[in-house]
Amino acid sequence: MPFFPTLRHAATVMLSPEKPIGTAPSTWSSLRSIILSSWFNVLLVFIPISWAINFALPDQYTLIFILTFLAIIPLAKLLAYATDELSIRVGQTLAGLLNATLGNAVELIVSIIALVKCELTIVQSSLVGSILSNLLLVLGMCFFAGGMRFSEQGFGQSAVQLNSSLLTISVIAVLLPGAFHMALQGQASYSELSTDYDILKTSHGVAIILLFIYGSYLVFQLFSHKALYDDNNPDIQQSRGYEGQNPWLRLRPRRRNGRPVQSSDPTGDGQASGPADGTDSELGPLPTDAESEIEPYMSVGVCLGLLVVVTVLVAVTAEFLVDSINGLTASGAINKEFVGVILLPIVGNAAEHVTAVTVSVKDKLTLSLGVAVGSSIQIALFVIPFIVTLAWIMGKKLTLLFDPLESVVLFLSVITVNYVVQDGKSNWLEGMVLMCLYLILAVTFWYYPGTDGIFTC
């Protein structure tokens, strides 16, 4: 049973979407595959520990936050694993819809719990932070990791430019309520109560429109123009290897006898020459056209049961996590803005980060972009307006009027990513630039105290 089967399934579905599904394994084999699915499962031990500390030492907010933080990471990975297993059985179109629905389930659960507890600042900052994390950190790591093997990697320029346009639209929706508020503040007839009410109603209307745009995007991606998002699309530019010896190979460790460790790219031309038996040291057997069927790792019953159990565990653990934030930030050692924008997105995106970076090294940059940019679009066009609409139903005054610095940073980040991807190819330096920009934002939000929102529950 190879480790990281989720990645192998993702590549299999992309390469051979029409192949039949093999016989479902037994319950024991399914449970064994769950245990061996990822090294992240080692962190599952923090679930009972964090729960016990929460009940035994409820005043230890910092300890509770750290333990619950570590506990949610493997749960996010298992949720992604179950989603991927279910996806291979429903066809490529429904698989895309299923991944779009459950891809950011952890962020959605955390946001809903924070909304119920009237932590509006945490809701807004964590959602903005998820977009920034995917666009800058994940995408930057993908470009950098792929650039260590390829001089340039190509991807579908048309699809990426369309995604950039959708992100720009969502950023405009976030910026407009702030501009609305600023434009009326200087007028003599300014009424704070009336303006706040108008911003709240504006946010409700814009949220509904964004949900409609997201629905149209799903139809476009999964039905009318799904070929644009395929790895075999002729619009994708070919990746190029380094001329001569790959300079990054010199940084690899050496054996005791002084000879370099063998590389999967010994010629340095960017074309990997894997083992003769058609296997990969990280992924196990690679999917090929010779395979007659896709091998499932779990039965449908176990897969659905895993989804339910993990969702419940995430909900309970996330509640403890949100409860500890106020106590954690009360000391002044760390602020809510940094927790929401930087720390919380790591919880929900850690598993996606690993998958996206690993497939970028395998020259599956289209899949990496689908994880990074696709997740950002889902948060911007679905999760944010959905949470605003849900708050409207619950009677909570959550709007699209975000913190001014968060709004500006989000706008500048989207503009930067648009410039980086506009040529349809990437290299390691572009990845380094995106990662360094994310570090700049992390330093900024570490010292940024935040502003009090105009709305409270």
Is the Cβ–Cβ distance between 6 and 355 less than 8 Å? yes
Q: Alpha-carbon distance 73 to 347, whole Å?
A: 5
**Per-residue confidence (pLDDT) for residue 92, from 0 to 100:** 55
pLDDT confidence of residue 234: 65
**Nearest one of 237, 167, 183, 188 to 423, comparing CA atoms:** 237
3-state secondary structure the chain: CCCCHHHHHHHHHHHCCCCCECCCCCHHHHHHHHHCCCHHHHHHHHHHHHHHHHHHCCCCHHHHHHHHHHHHHHHHHHHHHHHHHHHCCCHHHHHHHHHHHHCCHHHHHHHHHHHHCCCHHHHHHHHHHHHHHHHHHHHHHHHHHHHCCCCEEECEHHHHHHHHHHHHHHHHHHHHHHHHHHHHHCCCCCCHHHHHHHHHHHHHHHHHHHHHHHHHHHHHHHHHCHHHHCCCCCCECCCECCCCCCHHHHHCCECCCCCECCCCCCCCCCCCCCCCCCEECCCEECCCCCCCCECCCCCHHHHHHHHHHHHHHHHHHHHHHHHHHHHHHHCCCCCHHHHHHHHHHHHHHHHHHHHHHHHHHCCCHHHHHHHHHHHHHHHHHHHHHHHHHHHHHHCCCCCCCCCHHHHHHHHHHHHHHHHHHCCCEECHHHHHHHHHHHHHHHHHHHHCCCCCCCCCC
For the chain, what is the largest distance between any 2 Cα atoms, rounded to a whole number of angstroms? 81
What's the sign of the alpha-carbon dihedral 210, 211, 212, 215? positive
285-288: long-range contacts, CB 8 A cutoff, minimum separation 24: 285/2, 285/8, 286/8, 286/11, 287/8, 287/11, 287/12, 287/15, 287/16, 288/15
The token pair that represents 350 in the structure block: 């850690």
- What residues contact 277, with CB distance under 8 A and at least 6 apart? none
Residue 347 is predicted with a pLDDT of 79
> Alpha carbon 99 to chain centroid distance?
11
Q: Which amino acid is at 214?
A: Y
Centre a 10 Å sphere on the Cβ of residue 45 and count the other Cβ atoms it contains.
12
Strand partners, 284: 280
Alpha carbon distance 239, 235 (integer Å)? 13
Q: How far apart are CA 455 and CA 449, in angstroms?
A: 18
pLDDT tens, residue order, the chain (457 aa): 333 444 444 544 444 445 666 677 788 888 888 888 878 889 899 999 999 999 998 888 889 999 998 998 888 888 878 877 877 776 655 665 666 567 678 888 889 999 998 888 899 999 999 999 989 998 999 899 888 888 888 877 777 788 888 989 988 988 888 888 787 776 666 666 777 788 899 999 999 999 999 989 888 887 777 777 665 666 666 777 766 666 666 555 444 444 444 444 444 444 443 444 444 444 344 444 444 567 778 888 888 888 889 889 988 998 899 888 888 888 777 888 899 999 988 877 776 677 778 778 877 787 778 778 888 888 999 999 999 999 999 988 899 989 889 999 999 999 999 888 888 888 889 999 999 999 999 999 999 987 765 556 6
First CA to last CA distance, the chain: 50
User: 54 vs 66, 228, 354, CA distance in Å?
Assistant: 11, 48, 29
Q: What is the structure's pLDDT at 87?
A: 73
